[in-house]
Copies of this chain bind each other. A is one copy, B any other.
Amino acid sequence: MEEKRLKLVLLASLLLNLYYSCSIFWTTNTSPQPGWSREASAEAEAAAAIPCSTHGRVFLDSPVVDGAPTCECNTCYVGADCSELSPNCSADVGSGDPVFLEPYWQKHAASSAVLVSGWHRMSYKATGDNYISVELEKHIRLLHAAVGNAVTDDMFIVFGTGSTQLINALVRALSPDNTSSSSPARVVASIPFYPEYELQTDFFDSREYEWEEGAASDFANASNGNFIEFVTSPNNPDSLLRRSVLGGSSVIYDHCYYWPHYTAIPAPADGDVMLFSNSKISGHASSRFGWALIKDKRVYERATKYIELNSMGVSRDSQLRILKVMKAMLAEMKGEEGVFEFGYATMRERWRRLSSLVSSSNLFSLQRLSPQYCTYFRKIRDPSPAYGWLKCEMEQHRDCEAFLRSEGVITRGGAIFHSDSRYTRLSLIKTQDDFELLMLKMEALINKETSHTSF
């Protein structure tokens, strides 16, 4: 009897073991063991914890020297932990590199991180048509609705590897088909304008379109009206809100800066073709992600075809990361921890300090910007532009960029934007270190010039 009971118990035990083994086999056949993400987590936290003073950081793919990743320092900071300020180093406010938002994401570390598994979405296929993530598209529309800066109802959406990729995609999409007998589209913009429009239109030469030298307004009375007009609002480099000059049917509204960090939102933009760049929203320029909202189906299909042939869509890794970032932004929307609240506060303070310094001498002037009512903040808000469009007022400083360069400030000269070389662009969206160095140099040169004048 005893033996029998033992055998029964043994059988039950063996059956249970068999069940467990099968369960483990079938779940681990596709599902890795719990804890598989620990190594990646630890690696990321270790990199983040490497001390680089407050002037640098280590990333997972930072250059490795003697087996260890090295700190990547802000401009002019050097040393193993980026703590030494290089003497006689020029402040660099040339690039529109939106790293002013880095501290925001460091503060929101938990909600903005994403762990990408080795088998995450390997296929070419995305969840939506044209290699688009359905979830990301949904969140982009939510973001526009929350901010109120663009009409998205009845608008198609096309993703791009940065708004950069969409510039030529949209020019081609709006141009006559190369099999038609129409004359090429004539591509124009108002001065000063973002040089990429012309650089791309020239480099990616085609029979379908041609860049027209001069300003858009030169063509206001042109009888032959096959124009594609770029309207950037707020404008890069001068941050002014703009409208179409030609009023034609093919206008590309570049609204990359039409977000509350940089400008009041008087009303939702509602052009037929609108371009946006995530770089200038969350600051993740490196992800190379932007989008266009398009009304006309044929234009949408041509733009989509471009993206398909050019790159088979946008990196799904970028799409995943930006989805996480968008969810994090939406979760804090209109609260104290909101990204636009942070961005506006930062940019407003920088503009206040810069314009105060500039107005303290007659060497320079900046673009005039006034407080304006914003439907996002629901109040009248101060200017907080991404760029200072600085004018050198003195006769001897006809080449403003060269003058500033000789005084240790790197900027982007007016000629790059097809404007007068008396103007130069100061990027105000880089790190706090870059801004402080700019102020230091500007103060020094204003003091120097002021003391020269007083003798």
The answer to whether A124 and B95 have CB atoms under 8 Å apart is yes
CB nearest neighbor in B for A169? B310
Chain B residue numbers with a CB within 8 Å of A99 are: 122-123
The answer to whether B97 and A118 have CB atoms under 8 Å apart is no
The interface bits of chain A over 310-337 (1 if a CB of B lies within 8 angstroms of the residue's CB, else 0) are: 1111111111110111001000000000
Pairs of residues from A and B, 5 with the lowest C-beta to C-beta distance, nearest first: A112-B118, A32-B109, A105-B118, A286-B316, A44-B115
The answer to whether B61 and A286 have CB atoms under 8 Å apart is no
The answer to whether A133 and B61 have CB atoms under 8 Å apart is yes
A276 within 8 A of B: no
| Shortest distance from the beta carbon of A412 to any chain B beta carbon, whole Å | 14
Chain B residue numbers with a CB within 8 Å of A127 are: 61-63, 72
Stretch at the interface among A5-13, A51-59, A227-235, A388-396: A51-59
Q: From residue 185 to 220 of chain A, which have CB atoms closer than 8 A to chain B?
A: 196, 199-200, 203-208
Please name 17 pairs of A and B residues whose Cβ atoms are closer than 8 Å in the assembled complex, sorted by A: A27-B51, A32-B110, A35-B45, A37-B45, A43-B114, A44-B114, A44-B117, A95-B124, A105-B122, A109-B119, A112-B117, A118-B325, A124-B279, A168-B310, A204-B310, A314-B315, A317-B321
Rounded to whole angstroms, the CA-CA distance of A333 and B218 in the bound complex is 63
| Shortest distance from the beta carbon of A112 to any chain B beta carbon, whole Å | 3
- Central interface residue in A45, A133, A314, by most chain B CB within 10 Å: A45
The answer to whether B115 and A57 have CB atoms under 8 Å apart is no
- Central interface residue in A121, A324, A328, by most chain B CB within 10 Å: A121
Rounded to whole angstroms, the CA-CA distance of A103 and B103 in the bound complex is 38
The answer to whether B114 and A40 have CB atoms under 8 Å apart is yes
- Central interface residue in A35, A107, A113, A285, by most chain B CB within 10 Å: A113
With A60-B320, A168-B310: A39-B288 Cβ-Cβ less than 8 Å: no
Other than the known A44-B117, A106-B119, A161-B161, what 13 A-B pairs have Cβ atoms closer than 8 Å? Answer: A30-B52, A37-B113, A60-B323, A61-B319, A64-B135, A99-B123, A105-B118, A105-B122, A124-B279, A164-B311, A200-B309, A207-B207, A288-B314
The residues of A with any CB-CB pair to B shorter than 8 Å are 26-27, 29-41, 43-45, 48-49, 51-52, 54, 57, 59-64, 72, 95, 97-99, 101-103, 105-127, 133-136, 160-162, 164-165, 168, 178, 196, 199-200, 203-208, 279, 283-289, 305-306, 309-321, 323-325, 328
With A111-B118, A122-B98, A127-B62: A315-B328 Cβ-Cβ less than 8 Å: no
Rounded to whole angstroms, the CA-CA distance of A116 and B48 in the bound complex is 11
Rounded to whole angstroms, the CA-CA distance of A388 and B90 in the bound complex is 60
A285 CB contact (under 8 Å) in B29, B38, B123, B133 = B123
CB nearest neighbor in B for A106? B119
| Shortest distance from the beta carbon of A259 to any chain B beta carbon, whole Å | 16
The answer to whether B315 and A161 have CB atoms under 8 Å apart is yes
Rounded to whole angstroms, the CA-CA distance of A417 and B416 in the bound complex is 45
Chain B residue numbers with a CB within 8 Å of A160 are: 311
Chain B residue numbers with a CB within 8 Å of A287 are: 315-317
The answer to whether A286 and B124 have CB atoms under 8 Å apart is yes
| Shortest distance from the beta carbon of A321 to any chain B beta carbon, whole Å | 5
Rounded to whole angstroms, the CA-CA distance of A91 and B246 in the bound complex is 53
Chain B residue numbers with a CB within 8 Å of A27 are: 51
The answer to whether B165 and A310 have CB atoms under 8 Å apart is yes
Chain B residue numbers with a CB within 8 Å of A286 are: 120-124, 126, 315-317
Rounded to whole angstroms, the CA-CA distance of A311 and B286 in the bound complex is 11
| Shortest distance from the beta carbon of A389 to any chain B beta carbon, whole Å | 21
| Shortest distance from the beta carbon of A325 to any chain B beta carbon, whole Å | 7
The answer to whether B321 and A116 have CB atoms under 8 Å apart is yes
Chain B residue numbers with a CB within 8 Å of A61 are: 121, 127, 133, 135-136, 319-320, 323
CB nearest neighbor in B for A430? B123
The answer to whether B115 and A97 have CB atoms under 8 Å apart is no
Chain B residue numbers with a CB within 8 Å of A205 are: 178, 206-208
